[in-house]
Structure 1
Amino acid sequence: MIKNICVLARLAGDAIMSIYNNNINCKINKKNDKSPVTNADIKSNDIIIRGLSSLTPSIPILSEENLIPWEVRKNWQVYWLIDPLDGTKEFIKHNGEFTINIALIEQGIPKLGVVYAPALNAMYYAIQGKAWKMLDGKPIKQIHSCYIYPPSVAVSRSHNCMNEMNEFLLGLNNYNIIKIGSSLKFCLIAEGKIQFYPRFSFTNIWDTGAGHAIALAAGAHIHDWNGKTLNYIPRQSLLNPKFLVSVNSCYL
C-alpha cells in the first residue's frame, strides 16, 4: 500500500511541476475564504482521488478540494485525508516549499502518511510506527526525531502570531529560527533538523494529517496547548486546535 501511495504522490507531483515550471500555464483563483487555489491544486486532486478510488474503493476520501458534507462523513471510522497541494502560497511565490499530503486515518489516528515535495524531489512516508525519507532517488533511509542544542524552531512563512510566538521563545534559553512553508515543518522535525514547531494560528486537518503520521512515527510528539494529542475523529469543524510538535513531550 505505501509504495502505491508514494507512486500516486509522484504522479500528482509531476502534474504540479508541469505547471510550476511554466508559469504561463498557472491559473490562480480565490476560494470563498479568500485563500488562493490554482489549476495545479485541482489537477493534483483529480489524480489522487482517481488513484485512491481505484486502490481502495471502499475507503471514503476527504480532500481540501473535495469537501464532503458532515452528514455523510460523521460516521466514518476509516478515511483518506488529502491536501493535493499544501502551501499554495509557496507554490505561487515559486520557492519550492509546497507538498502533497496523503494520510490514512483510522479511528481518528493517522496510521499512514506520505508527504512529497516535488520541487525538492523529497519523499517522506510512514507506516506501522516507522518513518523514512527518499531524496533524489538515493537509497531510502529511516528517519528519527532528535533533540539538538540549541534547538531549531520552525516558523510558518505565511502565518505568524508574533505575541504568542515570542512568549514561547522566551521559554527557550537559546534557539535558531527556521522559516519554512507547508507540512515540511513536520518532516524536518521527523528527521531531526528541527526540534519545535509551535502553531498559534488555526490549520485545517488536511494540512496536518500526513505530516502528523510521519513526525509521530519518527518519535516526535504532537499535542494541543492543553496537552491533548491531535486527533482526526470526524467532527463538524475541519479546523485543528493550536498545537505544538516537539521532540520533548515534557515541554508542555
Structure 2
Amino acid sequence: MSITQELLNQVDALARRAGDAIMEIYGRDFAVEHKQDNSPLTEADAAAHHIIADGLARLELKAPVLSEEDTAGFAGADEHGRYWLVDPLDGTKEFIKRNGEFTVNIALIENGKPVLGVVYAPALNTGYVAAEGLGAFKTEGDAAPVAISVAEHQTGTPWRVVGSRSHGGGELPALLEKLGEHQLVPMGSSLKLCLVAENAADIYPRLGPTSLWDTGAAQCVVEQAGGTVVQLSGEPLSYANTREVLNPYFLVLGENDVNWPALFA
C-alpha cells in the first residue's frame, strides 16, 4: 500500500485526538510516577498511547506498533519491513514543567527509514506532517498547512543551534567552540528537529541519549523538508534494529554540505 495524502491526514487527526486527551490532563492536577530508568510518567502518556494504538489498528494500512508505552507488545516489523513508531507524549519533563514544549510523535517506518511522520504540539496547537512523495508541512492553529523547507546557512551569520531544554550534553560546548559564532536556541521534545526543518535553526547536535520513538516522526519531517539526520559515523539515523531502542549520537543539518566531521576531529 502506497502512502497517500488521506493516510497522512488520518494519522495527523489521530495525533490531534491524542493531543486533546493530553491537554485535558494538562489542565488539572496529575500524578507523576517514574519508570525503572527514572524517566517520568504521567496518566497523559498512557491516555495518549491507548488512543493512538486503537486508532492505528483501524487504519487500512496494518502494521505492528512500537510505542514507548508498550515495548513488550512489539514483535517486530511486518513482512514488508514496516511498523508504526509512536511516542504518545514526547517531552514529559516539559509537560510536567508546563512550558508547552511537548509533542505527540507518530512515524511509519519502512525498511529502517521513516517514510511518514506526524509531530503535534497540542499546547502550542502546532503540527508538522511529512511523507515520502508528499513533502513536509507545518500547521499553526486553524490555518491551512504551509510547505516548509530547510535553507543554507548564510556565510558570515551566526549559526542557529538548537539545544535541549532538559537534557544537556557534556560534549556540546567543545562542538560549539569549533562551530564558531552561534546563537543557542533552547527547545524541548522533537520540536528541536522541526525547527531545523522549517528553517528556524541551522543545526541540532544531539550528543546525549534518545530513543527511536523520540526522533522517527521528526526525522521524516526534516528529510522531506530537504535536511539530513546523520550519525557521527556518517550513516543516516536508522530504525532497522528495534532490539536496540537507544539512538547513537546524531546531527540534524539544514544543509548537506556542512563539514560536520571537522567538528569532531
Determine the C-alpha separation between the residues in 1 that align with 2:112 and 2:31: 35
In the alignment, what sits opposite 2:166? 158
Among 245, 249, 252, the residue aligned to 2:256: 249
Question: How do 1:174-213 and structure 2 match up within 5 A?
Answer: 174-213=181-220
Opposite residue 69 of structure 2, the aligned amino acid is E
Instruction: Kindly state the Cα deviation for residue 27 of structure 1 after the two structures are TM-superposed.
Output: 1.9
| 4+ aligned runs moved over 3 Å, structure 1 | none
CA contact (8 A) 2:64 2:77 kept: no
Opposite residue 135 of structure 1, the aligned amino acid is E
Q: Is the partner of 1:73 in helix, strand or coil?
A: coil
Instruction: Kindly state the Cα deviation for residue 172 of structure 1 after the two structures are TM-superposed.
Output: 2.1
Determine the C-alpha separation between the residues in 1 that align with 2:197 and 2:152: 11
In the alignment, what sits opposite 2:150? 145
Determine the C-alpha separation between the residues in 2 that align with 1:150 and 1:57: 44
In the alignment, what sits opposite 2:56? 52
Question: How do 1:32-47 and structure 2 match up within 5 A?
Answer: 32-47=36-51
In the alignment, what sits opposite 1:85? 89
In the alignment, what sits opposite 2:13? 7
Opposite residue 145 of structure 1, the aligned amino acid is V
CA contact (8 A) 2:77 2:83 kept: no
In the alignment, what sits opposite 2:141? 136
Among 191, 208, 218, the residue aligned to 2:225: 218
Opposite residue 132 of structure 1, the aligned amino acid is F
CA contact (8 A) 1:131 1:143 kept: yes
Instruction: Kindly state the Cα deviation for residue 69 of structure 1 after the two structures are TM-superposed.
Output: 6.4
Instruction: Kindly state the Cα deviation for residue 57 of structure 1 after the two structures are TM-superposed.
Output: 6.6
Q: CA 1:39 to 1:177, structure 2 compared with 1: closer, same or farther past 3 Å? A: same
User: Unaligned 5+ residue runs, structure 1?
Assistant: none
Aligned residue pairs total 248
CA contact (8 A) 2:64 2:78 kept: no
Opposite residue 186 of structure 2, the aligned amino acid is K
Instruction: Kindly state the Cα deviation for residue 58 of structure 1 after the two structures are TM-superposed.
Output: 3.0
Q: Is the partner of 2:130 in helix, strand or coil?
A: strand
CA contact (8 A) 2:114 2:217 kept: yes
Q: Is the partner of 2:51 in helix, strand or coil?
A: helix
Instruction: Kindly state the Cα deviation for residue 158 of structure 1 after the two structures are TM-superposed.
Output: 1.3
Opposite residue 150 of structure 1, the aligned amino acid is P
Instruction: Kindly state the Cα deviation for residue 56 of structure 1 after the two structures are TM-superposed.
Output: 4.1
Instruction: Kindly state the Cα deviation for residue 171 of structure 1 after the two structures are TM-superposed.
Output: 2.0
Determine the C-alpha separation between the residues in 2 that align with 1:117 and 1:58: 25
Determine the C-alpha separation between the residues in 1 that align with 2:73 and 2:100: 33
Q: CA 1:126 to 1:57, structure 2 compared with 1: closer, same or farther past 3 Å? A: closer
TM-score by length of 1: 0.94
150-159 vs 89-98, which moves further: 150-159
Instruction: Kindly state the Cα deviation for residue 4 of structure 1 after the two structures are TM-superposed.
Output: 0.5
Instruction: Kindly state the Cα deviation for residue 247 of structure 1 after the two structures are TM-superposed.
Output: 1.5
CA contact (8 A) 1:222 1:230 kept: yes
90-99 vs 165-174, which moves further: 165-174
Opposite residue 110 of structure 2, the aligned amino acid is E
CA contact (8 A) 1:62 1:82 kept: yes
Determine the C-alpha separation between the residues in 1 that align with 2:60 and 2:152: 38
Give the CA RMSD over aligned residues.
Answer: 1.5
TM-score by length of 2: 0.90
